[in-house]
Amino acid sequence: MYKLIKIRDVSTKYDVSARTLRYYEDMGLISSTRNDDYAYRMYDEGAVKRLEQILILRKLNISIKDIGRIFSKSGSEVVLEVLGKKVDDIDDEVALLYELKNIVIEFIHQIENADFAKDSDVKLLYEKAKEIETQLVNVDYNGNPSNVNRLIYVTEKIKKAPEVRVIKLPKFRVVTSGYRTFDDLFSENGFNKWQVAHSHLIRDLLYAPPDFMWHEDGKAVWIWAIKDWVTEKDTAPYEIIEFEGGLYAAAISVDGDDDINGRVYTGIKNWIETSGFELDEYPEHQTLCHMLNPTDEIKKGLGYHQLDIFVPIKLREG
């Protein structure tokens, strides 16, 4: 009989969250088992080896959908196709980076030849900077306009930063799971099953999703917006609290994929640093996530569920 490994031990050994492990299961990439005397997920040696393969492929930035294709075939044809496409993508990116290098060198030469004693040359450099920043390509100057046009194209192709939008979430009443492990949230008697059974209490919000989740110290809090007439008698054993709302910088990520989620979160923070906002580090203002349109159609088309990440922000002081 194969030795079974607890989800906590797998999570610790491979530095991957329980949420990600559950996500890989939902996508059919690995499987777990549960003993009658142990409520949490456990993995056999085959599942652990498969997880190691997944983590290596994710480090190569292979998509979850392509990993599923690789595992669904017994031969090497699909993995060679996927890795070959990755090589082509890397070649394209190297070519773009080389082109970007040449554009920057050309700008350096133009700056070296500029006469800062002349107002016209100072204005010229300002207009170039303004053109790049605003992506306006019709500014008239005595350089090579195709360089700026190409710079914008190349940097857009290379850029991996998420598309960030600013959202103001309203105040609203919610029922909260309290701090729970993911296995607790999705257990037979967990909060997930409770809210499905009590969907008549849930309120749809205009311009905002009805549920959010945040993480802290290895646990999560899940909240659902509720209708005005709902009382704690209706939500027992779960409490009702007031969600403060506020300003958030948001971007789409992939549910359960910590690798992508980390890059998106970092991308949002980098965007904040260059914006008129700053991080709102008030302790009660948490970074939130929300499952965006979790329909079977979208999951089938994309190969994964979309996830929105919300980072709390406030207007920059000064």
pLDDT tens digit sequence for 37-81: 556 788 999 999 999 999 998 888 888 888 988 998 888 899 999
Interval 255-273 mean pLDDT: 85
Listed by start position, the domains of the chain span 5-72, 77-158, 165-315
Residue 311: per-residue pLDDT: 95
What is the Cβ-side half-sphere exposure of residue 197, based on CA atoms within 13 angstroms?
A: 10
Q: What is the band of 114 on the pLDDT scale with cuts at 50, 70, 90?
A: low
Assign 317 to helix, strand or coil.
coil
Residue 51: per-residue pLDDT: 92
CB 35 within 8 A of CB 4: yes
Instruction: Give the list of residues 6+ apart from residue 63 with CB closer than 8 angstroms, or none.
Output: 303
Interval 172-200 mean pLDDT: 89
**What is the identity of the amino acid at 184?**
D
Interval 260-273 mean pLDDT: 88
CA 196 to chain centre: 25
**Residue (of 74, 82, 27) closest to 56 by Cα position:** 82
Give CA–CA dist 172/212, Å, rounded: 12
End-to-end Cα spacing for the chain: 65
Beta-bridged to residue 175, according to DSSP, are 224, 240
Question: In CATH, what class is 165-315?
Answer: alpha beta
Give CA–CA dist 64/55, Å, rounded: 11
pLDDT tens figures, 121-136: 666 666 665 555 443 3
Is pLDDT at 241 greater than 80 in this prediction? yes
pLDDT tens figures, 187-210: 888 898 998 899 899 887 655 668
CB 288 within 8 A of CB 215: no
How many other β-carbons are positioned within 10 Å of the β-carbon of residue 82?
18
Same CATH fold, 165-315 and 5-72? no
Residue 140: per-residue pLDDT: 39
Residue 150: per-residue pLDDT: 62
Residue 142: per-residue pLDDT: 43
More confident residue, 155 or 22: 22
Beta-bridged to residue 226, according to DSSP, are 202
Q: Which residue pairs from 295-299 have beta carbons closer than 8 angstroms and sit at least 24 positions apart in sequence?
A: none
Q: What is the mean pLDDT of the chain?
A: 81
Give CA–CA dist 96/110, Å, rounded: 21
Q: What's the predicted TM-score (pTM) here?
A: 0.67
Residue 197 Rama label (left phi>0; alpha psi -120 to 50; beta)? alpha
**Alpha helices, DSSP H only, in 162-231?**
182-185, 191-197
Question: In CATH, what class is 5-72?
Answer: mainly alpha
Residue 143: per-residue pLDDT: 47
